[in-house]
Amino acid sequence: MLTTFRSLLDRLILSICSFALMLLVVTVTWQVFSRYVLNDPSSWTDELSRYAMVWLGLLGASYLFGIKGHLAITLLDSALKGKAHTALHLLINGITFTFVSLAMFKGGLALMSRTTQQLSPALQLPMSTVYSILPISAVIILIYITLNTIELFSKTKKI
C-alpha cells in the first residue's frame, strides 16, 4: 500500500513539474520572440516564467527526497552497519523533519499570511499564491521523510 502511495505521489509531482517546465519553455520562448521579432516585449512572461521556475525547483527538490537523490556526504553512512546505520538515518530524518516543519511549513504559512493583500506587478496574482509552494513542498518532503523512515524499519525495504 505504501509503495502504491509513493508511486502515485511521484507521478503527481513529476506531472506538475513537467507542466511547470513546459510553461517555462513556452513563456521564455514567447518573451524572446516578442522582444526580438515583434519589437514589443511581453510584460507578463518574465514574471510567469520566474514563478514557474520557483515552483519547478521546489517541487523537484521535494521529489528528490522521495528518491533519496540529494547531494550527500556518505563517508559515515557507508562505514556504519546495522543499528548504528539506522540510528544515523533517524537522526538525519529527525533534523530534516524539524527544519522543514519550522522553516518551510511554518515560515511559508507566515509568509503567505503577510502577503495575501500584495499583488504581483504584471499578473496581479496574490503573492500568497506564489509563496504557497513553500508549505506545499514542505508537506511533500515531510511525507517522503516519513515514508523513508518507515522504510528503515521494514523488512522488505521496497517502499
Domain boundaries, the chain: 2-153
Read off the pTM: 0.89
Q: 89, 152 in Cβ contact below 8 A?
A: yes
Query: What is the structure's pLDDT at 71?
Result: 80
Give the CA distances from residue 56 to residues 20, 22, 62, 115, 122, in Å, rounded to whole numbers and listed in that order: 6, 10, 10, 21, 20
Q: pLDDT tens digits, residue range 34-57?
A: 999 998 888 899 999 999 999 999
The H or E element spanning position 26 is helix 2-36
Q: pLDDT tens digits, residue range 141-157?
A: 999 999 999 998 886 45
